[in-house]
């Protein structure tokens, strides 16, 4: 795991550095004639560039206050610089097009996109989007989905399920976020609560007491959770302990029947499918809910479940990153039909990872109503 984390940071910092270089191209005209300001910014950029491993180091050393301060500053900067990079890249493309057109056609007017006006426009747009992004991150929406099935017992008129995913409880998302989520769930009053991974995203020894905010929720059919990739990063035993103290039944490549009316299966988080053989042991006459963190369909599971609930993608979290996540996870947002009559729903997530902002990808709690045909 240490080697994986080191490799992750090495790759991430390399990409992050290239992002900063292109972002600098977009805003550098503002520093023309101000060499001292440019040098000060360069000095400040060093800890920001290495903020991810520094946050990890401080958190691991138990310096939680410093880690939280670094997380707020470093991750906010991450969101800011990503948007500067996006607009700088667009300006760069336009600049290249005008330059090429002028070379090909001598009569074409030479237009330079790079300049003080462009730099000011980039910063204005980015600051506006960041402010909006902070607001959107706190604006948790309830998405309502109705699923029709022929697998409900005759005595059951409907089953309601609430899904939370990707809350990322840790240095940034803490008591206030969890209180809001718990309050919304209490109002929805679902029959079953499903947590589809990445609920925890921090070392749990400083999260004592927070789990009790979810423990008070007591849906009649139970609370079920699976692990995401971030529970592995945060520490598997601590993450499992946190979720169990919050009252969740952990499902790790297993299936249970809840209240005698619905099968609930949960998969371990893995990049490749394994066929989920435990799905074949379900009661075929009952509706089968399949919890799987990553929104991937394994052909070997075709016809073995009715509804798969996933998360992981955040739908990119900050536009236009959703186009990048779609390359790996084309089923990244909403309800999809699968072969064999199954369906898959991918949540945009309930919290945030990294930057405490969302742009055109609002957080959600999903409320499903399973009704008879």
pLDDT in tens, 10-38: 898 999 999 999 999 999 999 988 999 99
Q: Which of 111, 136, 161 is the last residue before a domain boundary?
A: 136
Q: Which domain holds residue 83?
A: 2-136
DSSP per-residue codes, 120-151:
HHHHHHHHHHHHHHHHHHH-PEEEEEEEEES-
- The encoded tokens of residue 334 equal 């909403």
Q: Which of 110, 136, 162 is the last residue before a domain boundary?
A: 136
3-state helix, strand, coil in the chain (%, to 5): 45, 20, 35
d(CA 228, CA 166): 8
With 70 as the cut, is the pLDDT of residue 154 above it? Answer: yes
Average of per-residue pLDDT values in the chain: 94
Determine the average pLDDT of the residues in 135-139.
98
Q: How many CB atoms lie within 10 A of CB 268?
A: 16
Same domain for 168 and 84?
Answer: no
Same domain for 319 and 347?
Answer: yes
Same domain for 221 and 246?
Answer: yes
- The encoded tokens of residue 8 equal 């992750």
C-alpha torsion sign, points 124, 129, 134, 138: positive
Least confident of 11-15, 131-135, 179-183: 11-15
Cβ–Cβ under 8 Å, residues 291 and 224: yes
Pick the closest to residue 278 from 289, 294, 260, 265 (CA basis). Answer: 265
Same domain for 106 and 158?
Answer: no
pLDDT for the residue numbered 8: 81
Same domain for 164 and 302?
Answer: yes
Same domain for 110 and 146?
Answer: no
Q: Are strands 159-164 and 249-250 parallel, antiparallel or unpaired?
A: unpaired
Same domain for 131 and 146?
Answer: no
Cβ–Cβ under 8 Å, residues 364 and 85: no
How many folded domains does the chain comprise?
A: 2
With 80 as the cut, is the pLDDT of residue 362 above it? Answer: yes
Residue 74: Cβ-neighbour burial (10 angstroms; 0-12, 13-18, 19+):
buried
Q: Which of 90, 107, 136 is the last residue before a domain boundary?
A: 136
| Percent share of the chain, pLDDT over 90 | 81
pLDDT for the residue numbered 107: 76
Instruction: List, for residues 63-79, the tens digit of each pLDDT value.
Output: 999 999 999 999 999 99
Determine the average pLDDT of the residues in 87-96.
94
Q: How many CB atoms lie within 10 A of CB 55?
A: 23
Same domain for 204 and 219?
Answer: yes
Backbone dihedral angles phi then psi of residue 159, each to the nearest 5 degrees: -125, 130
With 80 as the cut, is the pLDDT of residue 4 above it? Answer: no
Look up the pTM and report it: 0.94
Query: Which CATH number fits the domain that encloses residue 366?
Result: 3.60.21.10
- The encoded tokens of residue 284 equal 């075929």
Backbone dihedral angles phi then psi of residue 306, each to the nearest 5 degrees: -105, -40
């Amino acid at each position: 795991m240490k080697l994986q984390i080191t490799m992750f940071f090495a790759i991430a910092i390399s990409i992050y550095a290239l992002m900063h270089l292109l972002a600098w191209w977009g805003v550098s005209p503002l520093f023309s004639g101000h060499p001292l300001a440019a040098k000060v910014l360069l000095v400040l950029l060093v800890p920001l560039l290495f903020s991810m491993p520094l946050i990890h180091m401080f958190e691991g050393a138990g310096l939680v206050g410093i880690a939280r301060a670094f997380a707020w500053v470093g991750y906010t900067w991450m969101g800011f610089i990503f948007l500067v990079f996006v607009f700088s890249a667009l300006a760069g493309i336009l600049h290249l097009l005008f330059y090429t057109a002028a070379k090909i056609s001598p009569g074409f007017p030479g237009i330079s996109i790079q300049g003080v006006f462009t730099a000011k426009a980039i910063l204005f747009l980015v600051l506006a989007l960041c402010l909006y992004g902070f607001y959107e991150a706190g604006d948790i929406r309830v998405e309502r989905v109705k699923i029709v099935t022929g697998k409900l017992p005759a005595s059951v008129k409907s089953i309601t399920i609430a899904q939370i995913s990707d809350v990322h409880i840790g240095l940034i998302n803490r008591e206030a976020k969890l209180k809001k989520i718990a309050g919304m769930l209490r109002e929805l009053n679902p029959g079953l609560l499903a947590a589809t991974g990445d609920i925890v995203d921090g070392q749990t020894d400083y999260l004592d007491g927070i789990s009790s905010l979810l423990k008070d929720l007591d849906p009649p059919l139970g609370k079920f959770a699976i692990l995401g990739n971030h529970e592995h990063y945060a520490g598997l035993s601590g993450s499992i302990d946190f979720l169990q103290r919050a009252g969740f039944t952990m499902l790790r490549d297993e299936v249970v029947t809840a209240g005698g009316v619905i099968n609930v299966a949960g998969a371990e988080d893995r990049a490749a499918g394994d066929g989920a053989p435990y799905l074949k042991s379900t009661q075929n006459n009952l509706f089968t809910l399949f919890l799987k963190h990553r929104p991937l369909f394994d052909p070997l599971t075709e016809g073995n479940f009715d509804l798969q609930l996933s998360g992981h993608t955040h739908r990119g979290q900050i536009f236009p990153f959703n186009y990048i996540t779609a390359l790996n996870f084309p089923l990244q947002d909403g309800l999809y039909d699968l072969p064999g009559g199954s369906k898959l729903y991918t949540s945009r997530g309930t919290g945030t990872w990294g930057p405490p902002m969302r742009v055109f990808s609002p957080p959600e709690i999903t409320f499903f109503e399973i009704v008879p045909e």
